[in-house]
Structure 1
């Protein structure tokens, strides 16, 4: 059951704006355009996992980390293509007709953004996987290593524990 919270009372004109609204929100049409564009550039680990688990073949996952990082664990079925190797190796490893979902370590790393830029400059349609391998692992999805497949427990700070979904 979804419960709705009461709407907050409108602030009187004399009261100062909160820090949240010191810069007013965008107009609804501008916000809609921004969020639609954002979804064209990003996806998240839950959507990637759900698609891969269902057998999706309409995109390829590219891990842009180093070989040492890849060896620590990677998304099953991903292509290993370190960012520095993209100009030389992308055409041999990736079909230009298949969209690419690229990731690196996590939200504190711009590696996936740099890799996405390099791929886009070569003509690939590309999205960045928000959260990177960090959130893939924290949300309890399997990784592959030379020792086999490993799945860690779900981090309750990043995803619901158990079989439930976050509902977003």
Structure 2
């Protein structure tokens, strides 16, 4: 009896289709390592948005992130944001959709946005520092450990 492949039941896309799809995926998301590198290197085009409630932000947030809960993202508040920047939205992690709501609202307001994969949970799993309290903090010139991927 010949086994059938569940993986190959639907054939893979052509290489050009895969490349296009993966590029699209990368245009929508970033990961903790890439974000940490950019923050440590002082890339000013990026602004990190913590989309959780402010009390969660104070308990612990990505250094450099600003608190803008997705539930408080009004047209008036979003109109004040710099259109030349790229916004990275995050929340607790994969069990939370606050970053998705935040990214949706930011993009709907005409802003460029990427969502942080895994949120604060994956940030911590990668061993990156967390800032506490109301201060934004910074990763500028921070030495990072090596990436596992």
TM over 0.5: yes
Matches of 1:35 and 1:15, distance apart in 2: 33
Question: What residue is the counterpart of 1:115 in the other structure?
Answer: 102
**One of 84, 90, 97 as aligned partner of 2:84:** 97
Q: Give 1 or 2 for the bigger CA radius of gyration.
A: 1
Question: What residue is the counterpart of 1:141 in the other structure?
Answer: 128
**TM superposition score normalised by structure 1:** 0.76
Matched residue SS, 1:145: coil
* Structure with more contact order per residue of length (Cα contacts < 8 Å, sep ≥ 6): 2
Question: What residue is the counterpart of 2:35 in the other structure?
Answer: 48
Give ranges in structure 2 of 5+ residues lacking alignment.
Answer: 138-143
Deviation at 1:82, TM superposition (A): 0.5
Answer whether contact 1:58 1:98 (CA < 8 A) is retained.
yes
- Residues 18-61 of structure 1: CA distance to partner in whole angstroms, max 9, x if unpaired? 22222221111111110011111111010000110111111100
Deviation at 1:165, TM superposition (A): 2.6
Question: What residue is the counterpart of 2:146 in the other structure?
Answer: 164
Equivalent positions of 1:1-168 (< 5 A) are: 15-87=2-74, 88-92=76-80, 94-146=81-133, 163-166=145-148, 168=149
Matched residue SS, 1:133: helix
Answer whether contact 1:81 1:90 (CA < 8 A) is retained.
no
Matches of 2:27 and 2:134, distance apart in 1: 36
- Residues 44-85 of structure 1: CA distance to partner in whole angstroms, max 9, x if unpaired? 010000110111111100010011211220011111100011
Call closer, same or farther: CA 1:84–1:163 in 2, change over 3 Å.
closer
- Residues 4-23 of structure 1: CA distance to partner in whole angstroms, max 9, x if unpaired? xxxxxxxxxx8343222222
Give ranges in structure 1 of 5+ residues lacking alignment.
Answer: 1-13, 150-161
Call closer, same or farther: CA 1:61–1:163 in 2, change over 3 Å.
closer
Matches of 2:18 and 2:52, distance apart in 1: 33
**TM superposition score normalised by structure 2:** 0.85
